Amino acid sequence: MTAIAIVAICAWALVSIVDSAKDKSKRKLNNKEADAYKAEIAELKERVSVLEKIVTDERYDLKKQFADLEKDRVA
């Protein structure tokens, strides 16, 4: 559940950055600013991709289940 929240937050941040970039593009970004935004968006896309792989990995769910069982055993 936490991982889903992380992915959702990253997606929201990515959309916010893109929307912000669109707003700023109306005032004509210089090349330096445009390149910085493009690099940041590419980095965020890569991070979201990695998070999606982790969250959808069967082993992630299995590790979480083991951790939950361990918590129940200790408590």
DSSP state, 12? H
C-alpha 4/C-alpha 10 separation (Å) is: 10
pTM (2 d.p.): 0.45
CA distances, 73 to each of 59, 60, 63, 68 (Å):
21, 20, 15, 9
Residue 38 has pLDDT above 90, yes or no: yes
Is the pLDDT assigned to residue 67 strictly greater than 90? Answer: no
To the nearest whole percent, how much of the chain has pLDDT over 70? 84
Q: Would the pLDDT of 22 be above 80?
A: no
One-character DSSP codes across 18-63: HHHHHHHHTT---HHHHHHHHHHHHHHHHHHHHHHHHHH-HHHHHH
pLDDT of 17 above 60: yes
